[in-house]
Structure 1
Amino acid sequence: MLYSANIFARFCSGKLLPLADWGAAAVDKAMLENDQGPLWEPPKAEKPELSLPERIALVRELLAALDIVMGDISRTHFTGGLKEQSYDIVRRAAIIRQREGLTAILSLCDTGSAAFGVCLLRPAYEEMLWLEYLSKHSDVANELLHLMGQASIKEHMRVQMDYLKRDGMHAVGFTMKFAKLFIASAPAATAGIKAIGAKLGWRRESDKPSVAHIAQQVGRKDEYDYIYEATSRFVHFSPHELMRRAWGDHETMHISSDHFAKYWALFSLHWGLRIFLNSIRAVHDIFPDDSAKRESYDKITEIIQSGILPPVPIITEAELDWSYMKRKT
């Protein structure tokens, strides 16, 4: 399956993600370097730039190759109970949802609506962090996930009951008696989570660690801060994110998501793939034991982690009011 790795090498090449195409007229060179050397080299002048449709086509090729590598993970033997197989189910479901998310991002890119694709990155990134974290604590993963699932659904029931009241609950098929009995068993699940959390070093009496803590434990705190900042404006009210859509001159202004469509497409594709591949690596043992395929997705992950992909800026020079900045400096 070297075909798969070759596709990804093309995707990761400097010419495929030129910073100049992101709407930024210039990027600080220090931003493109780390302790191991430059993360990005300017494309050779003789190599033609790829258009966004060509890049999207390459991503589709890559995903098709990855589908072959991974095989069908949507079906598995259910030999025990949820408590015994929660970890396996959650891992498979996370990979499948992320794969579906990438398909959605590609469709949004095709229609010029890539801004909404960025909204899919935040849950995918948190899934990746948890998959990596649980791989380090697989001895308690089944029990922990089972208890977290129980606690979550009971909390959903409580919130639903508070909002819908008696008539509303009856309308959706629940009696108040059942709902109250169901919710009453929640403390047992919470107590079980706290007991496991104490062993794992969570904050005292915590029934769920912060995502920042999980990121710290898997060595991704700086990356998490970056992704959190980049995606927050897509899922919360953000004047900056809304005002990005307004472009013009001193006489007229046009407000549209089209102005940043290409930037959003590259951002969502870059991070969507990166998150997906890191998630694959975290759960590699669920895939068919085929040495040729294993070498392929290991190679793909190696490429994306090698420093070839540049950091995608979360703010660009083009959107700053440089005339104001120059007056201040």
Structure 2
Amino acid sequence: MTEHDGVVEPIRGYSLQDRIEAVEEFAALVDQIVHIGDLDWSKHEFDFRLLAVNVSLRRQVESIQAATILARQNLGHLAVAFVRASLEDVLYLGFFASLTREESQELFSTLGSWDGLRSLLAQRSYVGDEVMQALWFSPEFLDAAEARRAETREKLLDLQKKYRWAGREVPSAAWIAKKSGKQELYNYLHSATSRSLHFSAGEILRRGWGDPANKVVTNSGHFREHLAAFALDQLWRLHVEFWEMATPFMEDAGISGDESITFEDTQPLLNRLIGLGKVPLVHAGEWNRRPPHSQTSSSR
């Protein structure tokens, strides 16, 4: 891809600084409105969705704060990784909220056991029993965990037949998105944001900017600003979407707030954020597109 000064920019008319300041104000407002406290053990044990809301909300708030800090250090492009996690909060909570408490509890606990057992036994395989014993995991405990993993896998396969999800032991994110009514959002953001986390030929190619007659750079200031603006824009929007779905669980999830702050108090800031415009995932410069009036020609 080629780059010319001033071509790659987030949203015409607004600087990255404008967006950082607005999102910082949003983070401060959320911190003022929302208090993420501890959960009552019996309520948490009765419905694991409450823990999911508490953990996810805390992670989202901290991700927004971290994104603004990174952006101020010229590292805001790295915050695209936070978008993937916030998106999945929206998708998965939407799915679990659509289930009855009993259905959610069975599926949540089984998936949780599967994740935990796989991590534990992967560590055993990697470091060996001698090291595991030094970490207080006896061979007997680990052997029992092996048996539990097999049992959990069979239970997940039974649940797969019940729900008919795509995938084997665990449902695919695409299936979760469809069930939560967020398929378009998933199609737009999920695979694209995963490329910021994993090795991706496509992401590597989109990070290389320059001129065919000269050199390629991988730290284009314009494109880094675009990615930073994209992350900041998506994080606050996904947080609002998550909030809407999580509201029925908030009180029992250990979430409290300042009830003296009204929608009228928050509306000016939300209008300011909306007024900054949506930042597109794919920049036209990645495909060597120029405004119709541009006289500059280039080749990819």
TM-score by length of 2: 0.78
Q: 2:174 is matched with which residue?
A: 212
- Tell me if the contact between 1:245 and 1:259 (Cα under 8 Å) persists in the aligned partners: no
1:192 Cα deviation after fit:
4.1
- Tell me if the contact between 1:134 and 1:141 (Cα under 8 Å) persists in the aligned partners: yes
- Tell me if the contact between 2:156 and 2:170 (Cα under 8 Å) persists in the aligned partners: yes
1:238 Cα deviation after fit:
2.9
Q: 2:234 is matched with which residue?
A: 271
- Tell me if the contact between 1:246 and 1:255 (Cα under 8 Å) persists in the aligned partners: yes
Question: Does 2:268 match 1:283?
Answer: no
Q: Deviations over 1:90-132 (max 9, x none)?
A: 1110111111111111111011111211112112211210011
The partner residue of 1:165 within 128, 139, 146 is 128
Q: How does 1:176-191 map to 2 (within 5 A)?
A: 176-191=139-154
Unaligned runs of 5+ in 1: 1-20, 26-41, 44-48
TM-score by length of 1: 0.72
Alpha-carbon distance change, 290 to 72 in structure 1, aligned in 2, over 3 angstroms: closer
Question: Does 2:102 match 1:134?
Answer: no
User: Which amino acid in 1 is paired with 2:93?
Assistant: L
1:147 Cα deviation after fit:
1.9
User: Which amino acid in 2 is paired with 1:178?
Assistant: F
Q: How does 1:1-329 map to 2 (within 5 A)?
A: 23=8, 49-69=13-33, 71-79=34-42, 83-139=45-101, 140-203=103-166, 206-243=168-205, 244-248=207-211, 250-285=213-248, 286=250, 287-288=255-256, 295=263, 309-310=277-278, 312-317=280-285, 320=288, 323-324=298-299
1:152 Cα deviation after fit:
1.0
Say which structure, 1 or 2, has more relative contact order (CA 8 Å, 6+ apart). 2
Alpha-carbon distance change, 293 to 189 in structure 1, aligned in 2, over 3 angstroms: farther
- Tell me if the contact between 1:91 and 1:283 (Cα under 8 Å) persists in the aligned partners: yes
- Tell me if the contact between 2:9 and 2:223 (Cα under 8 Å) persists in the aligned partners: no
Question: 3-state SS of the aligned residue for 1:235?
Answer: coil
Question: 3-state SS of the aligned residue for 2:35?
Answer: coil
Question: 3-state SS of the aligned residue for 1:72?
Answer: strand
Alpha-carbon distance change, 320 to 225 in structure 1, aligned in 2, over 3 angstroms: same
1:224 Cα deviation after fit:
0.9
1:213 Cα deviation after fit:
0.5
- Tell me if the contact between 1:246 and 1:254 (Cα under 8 Å) persists in the aligned partners: yes
- Tell me if the contact between 1:24 and 1:316 (Cα under 8 Å) persists in the aligned partners: no
- Tell me if the contact between 1:85 and 1:142 (Cα under 8 Å) persists in the aligned partners: yes
How far apart, CA to CA, are the structure 1 residues paired with 2:19 and 2:202? 28
User: What do you get for the CA RMSD once the two structures are aligned?
Assistant: 3.5
- Tell me if the contact between 1:121 and 1:272 (Cα under 8 Å) persists in the aligned partners: yes
Alpha-carbon distance change, 200 to 293 in structure 1, aligned in 2, over 3 angstroms: farther
How far apart, CA to CA, are the structure 1 residues paired with 2:277 and 2:93? 23
How far apart, CA to CA, are the structure 1 residues paired with 2:113 and 2:231? 32
Q: Deviations over 1:24-53 (max 9, x none)?
A: 69xxxxxxxxxxxxxxxx98xxxxx44322
